[in-house]
Structure 1
Amino acid sequence: MPYLSLDASRLYYETHGSGRPVVLLHGVGGNHASWFHQIEAWSARFQLIVFDARGFGNSTDVEGHGRSAFTGDLVRLLDHLGIARAALVAQSMGGGTAVDFTCRFPERVEALVLADTLVWLDAPPDMSAAFAAVQARTEDLSQLERVLGATFRAERPAASELYLQIASFNHYVFRTLTGVQTRYRPQQLAQAAVPTLFVVGEEDVLFPPELVAQAAAGVRGARIERLPRAGHSAYFESPQRFNDAVGAWLDARALPR
């Protein structure tokens, strides 16, 4: 099992396939195992890098840095693998790392996909009230109600249970995750000049489509893909639609090498 030493901690990672490097960054309810649909669909044409953020899955966080170390960990992993430039596909919590990395090191990011995530957003005044309303509506929801859409929970109870079981291997949950990351306004992300695709499930209760669309509108040239019958984990709930849409977008943004 491949590990990267991070001082007292260690980072578990896997690589699959060959081609242009694509890094998959999981959410707080996931880990490297969450991306099995994408590994199957994309490894024939991309080199996929999946890893457990520190304190998740097989990775440790002895120092207790949590999200404060996520971006630095990604830098060290890419350097370890000899990858100078990659596309980033991030869901929920992973979006914080992906945007921070993109804004700090835009020359290392070929394309950016932000799936069901606004954790990176320093909400401008015209969005603050809407965010507060969302937090009030979702505060008492169960974990399944937060991370999976109503359609998926009703139609796929066994797969919904699998989602929870994958998350059970994590040390951190969203209420216990330590550390902080820099947040950004949409205009700051736009300044990185990296092609960006927003993906959001129509049933996402944590980051509703209208809020994602408002943030995306502030990122010049960004596209948005809305997936029906999917919630906060569209990559897991609607993998074929997600894989087709994101895969085609990544293919169209291939840079000459």
Structure 2
Amino acid sequence: MSSSRLPPLTVKEAIADLGDTRLWYWDTGGSGEIVVFLHAGSQSGAGWEYQQPAFVAAGYRAIGYSRRGYLNSDSGSIQNPGVASEDLHRLLQHVNADRIHLVAVAHGGYFALDYSLSYPEKVISLTLASSMLGVRDEAYDAMQKRLRPAFFNDLPVDFKELGPSYRAGNPEGHEQWKKMATAARPGGRVMQKLKNPLSWQSVEKIHPPVLLMTGDADLYVPPSILRLQLSHFPAAESVVITEAGHCANWEQPEVFNKAVLDFIRKHSAR
């Protein structure tokens, strides 16, 4: 994986046999604290190329992977799609990762929350970017419906997820993102299960330090939604990235990387 903005980096790519499924992952190696990246529903483990060199240069071991049904990973049984946070737990055992920093974008945030509830002792810090969190709450659901009318789902995925500044100003990156999104789910989407019910009450039980992020042009999690989320996380921090939509890690990687690195440095396990 290479980046037009940051120096290319060679990483290990492999398949982890977890018994009932096989997941593709990449691992930069090294002896630093481990940062694990969880991808969005529109992308795969291949969507972190702007993060790899930045986090390695900062002294961290970075790991990313594709969930079931995503790029290079097996789909497994559609009838029994498995629990995504348990897949993550077994993957971390496979790569000998104990305590980790979790960085999740969009749908990946659901599973990062779920993992943090099941294995709080394993999570040093938790970054949730542009995620609706998977919280089930009547008022929250109603707010989401007001925000995105019925026709929204029929819009092109790049329109829904990339901010207008990026689509207008970076045609090369725009096209690359669309190609990655097309390749992300070769067999259709696998909707994995959660181990824990996600509610505002469960969110308030999260123990690791939390950073909430979004883009100011995010159609799923605009700043007003971020502020609502923030009110339910004890002592969480927040960052709003200007001129970014739902994929700030891709649209504004320098700003995204700095915000996450500043946060996890403050919460080092060492």
* Residue aligned with 1:158, SS: helix
Alignment correspondent of 1:10: 22
Q: Who is 1:254 aligned against?
A: 268
**How far apart, in 2, do the equivalents of 1:14 and 1:169 lie?**
17
Change (3 A) 1:231 1:183: farther
Matched, 1:131 2:144: yes
Matched residue, 1:203: 217
Q: Does 1:177 align with 2:190?
A: yes
Alpha-carbon shift at residue 8 of structure 1 (Å) = 4.6
Give the match for residue 26 of structure 1: 39
* Counterparts of 2:197 and 2:218, CA distance in 1: 21
SS of 1:63 mapped into structure 2: coil
Question: TM-score w.r.t. structure 1 length?
Answer: 0.92
- 1:1-257 aligned at under 5 Å gives the runs 1-18=13-30, 19-44=32-57, 45-64=59-78, 68-123=82-137, 125-136=138-149, 138-171=152-185, 176-181=189-194, 182-256=196-270
Separation in 1 of the partners of 2:20 and 2:267?
38
How many Å separate the matches in 2 of 1:95 and 1:129? 20
**Contact preservation (8 Å) 2:68, 2:190:** no
For structure 1, the 5+ residue unaligned runs are none
Q: What TM-score comes out, normalization by structure 2 length?
A: 0.88
What is the CA–CA distance in structure 2 between the aligned matches of 1:229 and 1:133, rounded to whole Å? Answer: 23
Inter-partner Cα distance in structure 2 for 1:115 and 1:163? 18
AA paired with 2:23? L
What count of residue pairs does the alignment treat as equivalent?
Answer: 254
- Tell me, which stretches of 5 or more residues in structure 2 are unaligned? 1-12
Whole-Å separation in 2 of the counterparts to 1:210 and 1:40: 32
Distance 2:34 2:147 in 1: 35
The residue type paired with residue 135 of structure 1 is R
**Partners of 1:58 and 1:65 in 2: CA distance:** 20
1:100 touches 1:120 (CA, 8 Å); kept in 2? Answer: no
Q: Give the 3-state SS of the residue equivalent to 1:169 in structure 2.
A: helix
Deviation at 1:49, TM superposition (A): 0.7
User: Sequence identity, in percent?
Assistant: 27
Matched to 1:31, the amino acid is: S
**Equivalent-residue separation in structure 2 for 1:187 and 1:222 (angstroms):** 15
Amino acid at match of 2:220: L
CA RMSD of aligned residues (A): 1.9
CA distance in 2, matches of 1:162, 1:65: 33
